[in-house]
Amino acid sequence: MNKTKREISGQRFNCPEIITNKLIATILVCAIITIILFCFYYQIVSSQVLILNDVDADKRTTLVVHNGVFVLSYIHSAHKTPVFEFFDINDYNNLVLFKTVYESLGIGLPFTEENGNLSMENGKYILNMKKEFSSIYIRVSPIAHHSINIGGEDYPLLKYVGPNNLLKITAKKQYKLKKKR
């Protein structure tokens, strides 16, 4: 029988090679069984998330966006009417503005079709477009009531950022381990 010398904690031991090979094989089989069982009971799921970064306070929050669509809303400072900006998160984690809905034309709001298709429905202007952003910066104001709506649920931005602080919004994919049912 072929013997090899093993050193454990400074001590030298003679150990048959066959025992060493069996030990390695046993560890390998146990690892494979563990991986198979792990895959049977758990799965890795991905979801798109918005990252809300309070630039002034160096504070980050993530919001899960299940279908990739969210709405940024605020009260326009001059017109005092609501504005709704519809975004989609694309495969490259860019924020794609595809629609804006507002009630009046004028200061700070589009009034021509140069950047999309402008129409009027039920007394509201709807501008369909496609503008891509890697990030969006907003100075969050208590007056404007900035909020994000995801799947019908509102998230007031003042809950995540200080008044008049600068907010940077980006998106990314998030991976989580989830137990299978």
116 plus 39 within the same structural domain: no
64 plus 30 within the same structural domain: no
75 plus 140 within the same structural domain: yes
Distance CA 100, CA 126 (A): 6
19 plus 60 within the same structural domain: no
Domain coverage including residue 161: 46-179
22 plus 92 within the same structural domain: no
pTM score of the predicted model: 0.74
113 plus 77 within the same structural domain: yes
74 plus 101 within the same structural domain: yes
**Long-range contacts of range 79-82, CB-CB < 8 Å, 24 or more positions apart?**
79/103, 79/104, 79/106, 79/107, 79/109
- What pLDDT does residue 21 have? 78
Overall number of domains in the chain = 2
Is 40 strand, coil or helix?
Answer: helix
- pLDDT at 123 > cutoff 60: yes
27-51 mean pLDDT: 88
pLDDT in tens, 104-117: 766 656 555 666 78
Q: How many CB atoms lie within 10 A of CB 164?
A: 12
pLDDT in tens, 40-64: 788 888 899 999 999 999 899 999 9
135 plus 89 within the same structural domain: yes
8 plus 90 within the same structural domain: no
